[in-house]
Amino acid sequence: MFGKLKVISLAVSLAASGTIAANVACVGNSITEGYGIDWGVKKYPDHLQDLMQPGDSVANFGTSGKMFYKESGESYWVQGKIKEALAFPADIVVIELGTNDSKLFYFTYYNVTVDMLKPSYEDLLDTFAHLPTSPEIYATLQPYSNNVEWGIMDTSIVKYINPLIKETAIEKGVNIIDLHTLFKTPDWFLADSVHPNTKGAQELAKIVNKYITMAKPTLTQNTSALQVNGTHYGIRWYRDGKMIEGANKEQLSLSEKGKYKALVKVENDNDSWLVSEEIEVTDLGGSTGIAKGNKNAAQPKLRKLRHKVDVKGRRAE
């Protein structure tokens, strides 16, 4: 009744050789950089390093005060550590940018609109996704922030920035970590109600680590349909890297050959989404094989370490 399922799994074939190390690039603003935490005290990427496997390397490319908006005088593209981040041989990129883009005076006095911001965020995701290492991208919905003096209001983050990030990430088929829901405990913040304190930096690292190490959703081809396996709370389908309009059900009817993947909402109590393994459909009658797919589709994480680096992303000979 069902077509034959042929699975070629890199995870299975290499599992016996052990875990291969991963490079993680933490791109962001002052929340990532660690503003307000004393010099020499661990920031969130440092705590993430502690949570990773031996041989993994986490680099901090956070730059205080920076925006993803290219036209801003405080653009991460110009004044941030983007050159260093792009030079880093990343297997995973966590992008935590948008809090400064939410500042209300940009919308009220400079007439910035979401439509003006969106191309910059699209370019940000595309630029990192097309690196030679083909890294997994994790876009974060910005965490709760509220500081009237700085013009950073959570209402603006909720109304403008996080919907933009989510919409763009879904269009691009990029993983999403919902920091707004998951990182808002008052005891985790400094008095400025924007930046993590030392406890918050630890908790932020735990949240990020949870999703970048979580097993990817899997797909099955049953004759002329693809199906997402396991529990899920929302689905978007993609063929050959492009989102299929209106395809948001558990099953996808197949009418064309190609490489397919799904973006899956993995939990009910927050808006985090993970990209599934990618499979190549070569037989519309039911025979399929797993394509190259996502490098961290299964555990242990099987990623190639290009060269040794320290926690700041510097080459270590």
Per-residue pLDDT of the chain (317 residues; tens, 9 = 90+): 333 333 323 333 333 334 568 999 999 999 999 999 999 999 999 999 999 999 999 999 999 999 999 999 999 999 999 999 999 999 999 999 999 999 988 887 778 899 999 999 999 999 999 999 999 999 999 999 999 999 999 999 999 999 999 999 999 999 999 999 999 999 999 999 999 999 999 999 999 999 999 999 999 998 899 999 999 999 999 999 999 999 999 999 999 999 999 999 999 999 999 999 999 999 887 655 544 444 443 333 434 334 444 434 444 44
The CATH number of the domain covering residues in 17-212: 3.40.50.1110
Whole-model pTM: value is 0.86
Fold of the domain spanning 217-290: Immunoglobulin-like (2.60.40)
What per-residue string of b and e applies to 151-184 under the rule 16 or more CB within 10 Å gives b?
Answer: bbbbebbeebbbebbbebbbbbbbbbbbbbbbbe
Domain boundary assignment for the chain? 17-212, 217-290
User: Quick one: which of 116, 84, 117, 87 has its CA closest to 99?
Assistant: 117
Inter-axis angle of helices 198-212 and 44-51, nearest 10: 50
Q: Would you state the pLDDT for residue 109?
A: 75
